[in-house]
Amino acid sequence: MSFTKVQAHRGASGYAPENTIAAFKKAIEMGADGIELDVHLSKDNELIVMHDEMINRTTNEKGLIKDFTLAELKKLDAGSWFGVKFKNERIPTLEEVLILVKTTPLFLNIEIKAGYRMYKGIEEKVLALLEKHNMINRSIISSFDHYSLVKIKQLNPKIKTGMLYSASLFEPWQYAKSIKSDALHPYYITLNKDFILNAYINGLAINTYTVNDEDVMTKLSRGRVSGIITNYPDKAKKIVSSIQGN
Ligand code: G3P
Ligand code: MG
């Protein structure tokens, strides 16, 4: 059994439009261990799965997610930007993804896009939905907004949290423990063998993003990193299995 778990970044986003049901189905089909996705709140407070806070790049409309209702967002084409055959893809809600994923063995890495306190109450909403679908034990909440992670732990100490960051932080395991984070979610270029060892000695898992290069996947797999977050889960699974076994 492989130690390193492969997470499909925004679904299998190298093969289908990111953060759509097509990308999540592809990740399941490719044997990913987990799925990473990003959440925001719509104007009518529904949990929306999308990366950017604006809909410009991945739909046929312009503006901020928070200024559209779910019904308005559901009318948009979230697939054509990636390829004509995806023109019927819609923006999913978090609940739609939970309904899909709960029938599989995959886990979820839910990234809360809560920067600048834009989405009041998003933490409560995410937890309520995970509780409703019995997915607390199969999920990890991550965010670059560490206030959001602290709030998540205060609301439900049973859920795992992962601290996202991109800079080369000094001994981040000390800080991670101070915010009760279960995992470090660093940008992969900040990692080396000593770092990985120190994180493990301090009880922290390491799920690193976004690893699309096969040489880097190989190094991280040899270094026995806890999780590789990638747009190409098929490539990462193959490499991890060949180094660590199935
Ligand atoms: O969770 C890893 C990764 O998704 C963080 O960055 O910008 O792709 O959401 P981003
Ligand atoms: Mg993300």
Cα–Cα distances in angstroms (integers) from residue 204 to residues 177, 184, 185, in the given order: 8, 7, 10
Architecture of domain 5-244: Alpha-Beta Barrel (3.20)
pLDDT tens-digit series, residues 140-177: 999 999 999 999 999 999 999 999 999 999 999 999 99
Is 9 a pocket residue for ligand 1 (Cβ < 6 Å)?
Answer: yes
**Of 51, 133, 146, 185, which is the active-site residue?**
51
Nearest CA residue ID for atom 4, ligand 1: 9
End-to-end CA distance of the chain: 5
Mean pLDDT of 180-187: 98
pLDDT tens-digit series, residues 109-140: 999 997 666 799 999 999 999 999 999 999 99
Query: What DSSP designation does 188 have?
Result: G
Mutate which of 18, 140, 144, 210 for ligand 1 pocket (most atoms within 8 A of beta carbon): 210
Helices then strands, counting H and E runs in the chain, come out as: 9, 9
- Residue 229 CA, ligand 2 centroid: distance in Å: 9
The answer to whether the CB of 112 falls within 8 A of the CB of 143 is yes
Burial 83-107 (b: 16+ CB within 10 A, else e): eeebeebbbbbbeebbebbeeeebb
Nearest CA residue ID for atom 10, ligand 1: 51
Query: To the nearest whole number, what is the mean pLDDT of the chain?
Result: 97
Q: Where are the domains of the chain?
A: 5-244
pLDDT at 1: 79
